[in-house]
């Protein structure tokens, strides 16, 4: 067959690179949760701000009231679950002003698996939402902040934000938080806290404990790796000449035999992202494991750079953590290549159209596990490592469009020969409908789906 008869839009992500994780929106401060063989990444939804002349200005974070959620079981193809509306009149927690730096956990309570999403209401408190699924719908069961300055040992925390949550093997939940540097206390800010959560995960089971964290800035992390508890954090920007040899704005780690501490400083896990990519800024991370492998999630600014704007608008990235024979992590190197694909994607099941490794011109709508993509002329998505097995006969898509258009399928190179073309015709404009076309493919390939017109694509599969 011939090649696609439209000019392809340009992607903000380079071919052969798995970082950033996605490019259809920004996403900062990744908080990661493993559940049922998938990693779910929850992120601050950085939103472009403009001055009176229409020029992009520095991110003030004041307009952020939603949280982004993506997930993957192969670490390369990420399903975009859409925006979670958290704060403000249109949000679940209408009393909240902002939704920054989320983290999430799940726990079995009274025989039912429940999910909890913690977020910062600006720099002065931490809220929590709950759900029966990792993608919602979310509820505000508590109806107020979980952590406030009225909580014991929290009144003097400079920045009451950046939660990190962990559920221990015995089912006990812990929440670490805090940050900021009181005047002149760069070496020992004293603003990190950790607290035991109640059985319901939306209350406290004790008073927050102060952690002695050297050169703290922000960004708490809490994990159990082996038989040790790891507290991780971002160092501040006045570390020059310190005796621990840590550097500015870098992810540090400490270990303990008890989740409440005390913790002992061990070393630097990840230098500031500017060390690798040339764009320095705040460093915010999360550590998570899947199938026995450990990964560091962080943010960087490659999409901002590709767009030609400047303003600290951030995107999520991930690289693998390797451990030495002593059981301690080696320093992580930030790369644009990112993670290797853990397993091929199965196209014989229904695949959400919002699952992709790379895209151009695509936007995603929806929430609560129901999401779809909007495409326009020349827009496309890439799904990496698709295993077509011994062969296929048909490609079926669920879609709708205001006027007739075509979805083209191409393997391995978006400018390669078309192997299938699905005609999307009215009355698909009324509601999503199924459309199909022949396709012949076998073995493992990257799949490109390309549109020559405006359409909404919900899902696809081969048979």
Catalytically active residues, by annotation: 29, 218
Cis peptide before 308 (omega within 30 of 0): no
Cis peptide before 20 (omega within 30 of 0): yes
Distance separating alpha carbons of residues 24 and 7, to the nearest angstrom: 19
Cis peptide before 262 (omega within 30 of 0): yes
- Nearest in space to 351 (alpha carbons), one of 45, 77, 40: 77
Distance separating alpha carbons of residues 66 and 240, to the nearest angstrom: 37
Contact 283, 270 (CB under 8 A): yes
Distance separating alpha carbons of residues 84 and 127, to the nearest angstrom: 14
Q: Is 27 exposed, middle or buried (0-12, 13-18, 19+ CB in 10 A)?
A: buried
- Provide the 3-class DSSP secondary structure of residue 96: coil
Phi, psi of 249 (to 5 degrees): 55, 40
How far out from the chain centre does Cα 405 lie?
A: 33
Please state whether beta strands 444-451 and 315-321 pair in parallel, antiparallel, or not at all (unpaired).
unpaired
Angle at 81 between CA 76 and CA 82, to 5 degrees: 120
CB burial string 293-322: b at 16+ within 10 A, e below: ebbbbbbbbbbbbbeeeebbbbbbbbbebe
In sequence order, the β-bridge partners of residue 462 are 395
Distance separating alpha carbons of residues 370 and 364, to the nearest angstrom: 10
Contact 221, 297 (CB under 8 A): no
- Nearest in space to 32 (alpha carbons), one of 372, 284, 214: 284
Two tokens at 64? 């952020």
How far out from the chain centre does Cα 419 lie?
A: 33
Question: For residue 201, what are the CA distances in angstroms to 28, 133, 254, 272, 425?
Answer: 24, 15, 25, 32, 49
Cis peptide before 137 (omega within 30 of 0): yes
- Nearest in space to 137 (alpha carbons), one of 191, 83, 180, 209: 83
């Amino acid at each position: 067959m011939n090649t696609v008869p439209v000019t392809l839009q340009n992607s903000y992500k380079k071919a052969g690179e798995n970082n950033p994780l996605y490019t259809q929106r920004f996403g900062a401060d990744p908080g990661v949760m493993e559940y049922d063989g998938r990693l779910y990444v929850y992120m601050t939804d950085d939103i472009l701000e403009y001055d009176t002349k229409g020029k992009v200005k520095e991110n003030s974070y004041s307009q952020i009231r939603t949280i982004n959620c993506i997930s993957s079981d192969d670490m390369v193809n990420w399903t975009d679950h859409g925006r979670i509306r958290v704060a403000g009149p249109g949000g679940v927690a209408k009393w909240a002003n902002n939704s920054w730096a989320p983290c999430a956990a799940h726990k079995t309570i009274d025989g039912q698996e429940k999910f909890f999403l913690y977020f910062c209401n600006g720099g002065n408190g931490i809220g929590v939402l709950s759900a029966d699924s990792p993608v919602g719908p979310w509820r505000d069961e508590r109806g107020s902040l979980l952590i406030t300055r009225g909580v014991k040992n929290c009144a003097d925390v400079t920045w009451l934000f950046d939660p990190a949550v962990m559920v221990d093997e015995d089912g006990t939940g812990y929440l670490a938080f805090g940050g900021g540097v009181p005047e002149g206390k760069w070496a020992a800010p004293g603003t990190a806290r950790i607290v035991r959560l109640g059985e319901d995960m939306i209350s406290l089971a004790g008073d927050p404990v102060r952690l002695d964290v050297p050169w703290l800035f922000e960004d708490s992390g809490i994990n159990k790796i082996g038989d040790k508890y790891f507290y991780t954090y971002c160092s501040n920007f006045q570390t020059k000449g310190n005796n621990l040899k840590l550097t500015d704005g870098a992810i540090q780690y400490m270990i303990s035999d008890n989740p409440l501490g005390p913790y002992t400083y061990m070393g630097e896990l990840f230098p500031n992202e500017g060390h690798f990519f040339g764009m320095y800024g705040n460093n915010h991370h999360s550590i998570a494991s899947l199938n026995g492998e450990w990964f560091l999630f962080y943010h960087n600014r490659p999409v901002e750079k590709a767009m030609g704007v400047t303003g600290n608008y951030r995107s999520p990235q991930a690289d693998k953590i390797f451990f030495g024979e002593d059981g301690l992590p080696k320093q992580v190197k930030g790369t644009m290549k990112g993670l290797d694909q853990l397993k091929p994607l199965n196209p014989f099941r229904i695949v959400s159209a919002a699952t992709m490794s790379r895209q151009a011109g695509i936007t995603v709508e929806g929430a609560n596990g129901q999401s779809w993509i909007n495409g326009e002329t020349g827009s496309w998505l890439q799904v990496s490592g698709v295993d077509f097995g011994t062969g296929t006969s048909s490609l079926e898509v669920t879609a709708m469009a205001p006027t007739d258009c075509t979805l083209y399928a191409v393997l391995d190179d978006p400018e390669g020969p078309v192997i299938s073309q699905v005609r999307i015709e009215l009355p698909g404009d009324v509601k999503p409908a199924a459309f199909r076309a022949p396709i012949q493919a076998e073995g493992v390939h990257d799949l490109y789906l390309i549109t020559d017109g405006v359409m909404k694509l919900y899902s696809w599969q081969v048979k």
